[in-house]
Amino acid sequence: MTTANTGNNLDPWYGHYADRTAGLSASEVRALFAVASRPEVVSLAGGMPYVSALPPELVSGALERVMRDHGPEALQYGSGQGTPAIREQILEVMALEGIRASVDDVVVTTGSQQALDLVTKLFIDKGDVILAESPSYVGAIGVFRSYQADVVHVATDNDGMIPESLRETIVHTRAAGKTIKLLYLIPNFHNPAGVTLSWARRLEIIEIAKANNILILEDNPYGLLYFDGPPPQAMRSVDTDGIIYLGTFSKTFAPGLRVGWAVAPHAIREKLILANESAVLSPSAFTQNVITSYFEASDWRAQIDTFRGIYRERKEALVSSLSEHLPDLTWTNPDGGFYVWLTLPPQLDSKAMLPRAVKELVAYTPGTAFFANGDGRHNIRLSFCYPTPDSIRLGIRRLTKVINGEIELLDTFANTGQLEIVKSSDRVTSPPPNIN
């Protein structure tokens, strides 16, 4: 029986939807992003890898070899677990982050997003709690909600999730009678926070999870995209029984092929394969074969180095622009990945400000997208992965104009006293997150 519904009376099937569709909602800024995709807008909003840096001839070569050597297999249905060849290669990629596993441990998915979906489907009953960093990945929050999970954020600083806060959150959550099913973490170059979980904290958090019988979901899309030196090794490198690890080829190769993976303890992995077969029968044999051929024949490590150089240059452009134009604000300075997390003055609301930013031809993602609880109004995620350094600098100049204009406007109103009520309620409902 349906107790909660979305939709309206113009929908004749209103009343037929499952309860869980109440958690399914379009991003409030989706319409704006359609506008923001105009070429004259500098978008610091998306998370698109810079695939143009992938030499087309390497991809074309892989395609030719697939058709020459594996055509009928690549065009056919495949295994629900993924091809043995790509699972071998995934082991090689993960070894770079200290992970040792067997080909049997790997389940190939339609991007790591689908792995998030399958894990959530396997573990979450309505009202179960998933603990996550504060802030957390918008796409994960969306999946968790779509299975009616209750996402509880754990305080996070420049070294990632704070172990003491995790302990306290577990105690409080259980005292409230709730069941904690998963601890979701992005340890490396966090999306959106741009921070990296320190090695000491990785070990401490693994111990806390073990002591509390909580399964860790380690999501690592960016680990190989470090700027100067590699991040600490994966949490999965020191714990094989209590962690589901997620990886992807979207950032080291190309997201358009939609190939990611999960590594999970034996019994969970068996269920993941069944869930995968139920959802899509098998992941694309074609795109798996393309990736296998590319990794076999190309110097993929050198290509990742190329990506690193590009993203490092863009990060520097972003951070030096912020230093120059917005020296009074604070932001994270990531050691890799795609994102910087900017904290606005407390009187500014990042979501309310977005239309004005788009009018000034610069787009960003408001911090509220990364919280399940309404926080993040004073934050902005800035992506440096896709625009060129010059575009990034232009975008920050435009953003500076918007921010300064907002401050000036609000100060004018504040001096008249008219905005005091708004500012107070703002402080109460939306404290700034613990990212500096």
Contact with its own copies (CB under 8 A): which of 52, 175, 417, 428?
52
> Binding of its own copies at residue 146 (CB under 8 A)?
yes
Candidates 49-57, 188-196, 299-307, 316-324: pick the segment binding its own copies (CB under 8 A): 49-57
The strand pair at 330-331 and 260-263 is best described as unpaired
Query: Between 2 and 102, whose beta carbon lies closer to its own copies?
Result: 2
Estimate to the nearest angstrom the gap between the alpha carbon of 59 and the chain centroid. 26
Q: Taking CB under 8 A as the rule, does residue 13 contact its own copies?
A: yes
Q: How far is CA 67 from CA 70, 90, 258, 303, in A?
A: 6, 22, 19, 23
Per the CB < 8 A criterion, the answer to whether 93 and 304 are in contact is no
Specify the residue, 144 or 189, whose C-beta has the smaller distance to its own copies: 144
Position 138 contacts its own copies (CB under 8 A): no
Binding status of residue 372 toward its own copies by CB under 8 A: no
Which residue lies nearer to its own copies by CB, 146 or 430?
146
128 binds its own copies (CB under 8 A): yes
- Strand ranges in 106-236 using DSSP code E only, listed in sequence order: 106-109, 129-133, 150-154, 156-157, 160-161, 180-185, 215-219
- Report yes or no: 430 and 135 within 8 Å, Cβ to Cβ: no
Q: In the window 387-406, what residues touch its own copies (CB under 8 A)? A: none
Segment interacting with its own copies, rule: CB under 8 A, options 5-13, 85-93, 348-356, 368-376: 5-13
Query: Between residues 8 and 415, which has the closer beta carbon with respect to its own copies?
Result: 8
Determine the angle formed by the axes of helices 138-146 and 111-123, rounding to 10 degrees.
40
| Smaller CB separation from its own copies, 79 or 333 | 79
**In the set 7, 84, 355, 405, which binds its own copies (CB under 8 A)?**
7
Any residues with CB less than 8 A from the CB of 248 and at least 6 apart, and which? 111, 112, 221, 255, 259, 260, 261
Tell whether residue 123 is a contact of its own copies (CB under 8 A).
yes
* Closest listed residue to residue 260, CA positions, set 88, 91, 79, 111: 111
Applying CB under 8 A, which of residues 1, 175, 302, 428 lies at the interface with its own copies?
A: 1
Nearest Cα to Cα of residue 225 among 201, 190, 198: 190
Closest CB to its own copies among residues 38, 359: 38
Return the number of the residue (205 or 353) whose C-beta is nearest its own copies. Answer: 205
Asked if residue 48 binds its own copies (CB under 8 A), the reply is: yes
Q: What are the φ/ψ torsions at residue 221 (nearest 5 degrees)?
A: -75, -25
Beta carbon of residue 277, minimum distance to its own copies (angstroms, whole number): 7
# residues near its own copies by CB under 8 A: 85
> Where does residue 408 rank: exposed (0-12), middle (13-18), buried (19+ CB within 10 A)?
exposed
Q: Rounded to whole angstroms, how far apart are CA atoms 326 and 382?
A: 14
| Span of 10-18, 300-308, 349-357, 424-432 interacting with its own copies by CB under 8 A | 10-18
Contact residues for 384 (Cβ-Cβ < 8 A; gap 6+): 44, 311, 314, 315, 317, 318, 338, 339, 340, 392
- Shortest Å distance, C-beta 99 to its own copies: 19
43, 110, 350, 400: which one binds its own copies (CB under 8 A):
110
Q: What is the smallest separation between the CB atom of 63 and its own copies, expressed in angstroms? A: 5
Q: Restricting to residues 225-264, which ones interact with its own copies according to CB under 8 A? A: 241-242, 250, 254-258
Specify whether the CB–CB gap between 363 and 357 falls below 8 A. yes
Minimum distance of its own copies from residue 238's CB (angstroms): 17
Residue choice 265, 345, 389, 432 for contact with its own copies (CB under 8 A): 265
Judged by CB under 8 A, the chain residues 273 through 332 that form the site for its own copies are: 274-275, 277-287, 290
- Subset of residues 169 to 228 that bind its own copies, contact rule: CB under 8 A: 179, 181, 215
> Would you give the DSSP letter of residue 335?
S
Do residues 395 and 44 touch, judged by C-beta distance below 8 A?
A: yes
Distance CA 109, CA 258 (A): 8
| Least Cβ distance, residue 45 to its own copies (angstroms) | 13
Binding of its own copies by 117 (CB under 8 A): yes
Q: Looking at the DSSP assignment, which residues form a beta bridge with residue 151?
A: 130
Least distance CB 242 / its own copies (angstroms): 8
Range 168-177, long-range pairs (CB < 8 A, 24+ positions): 169/131, 170/131, 170/208, 170/212, 170/214, 173/129, 173/131
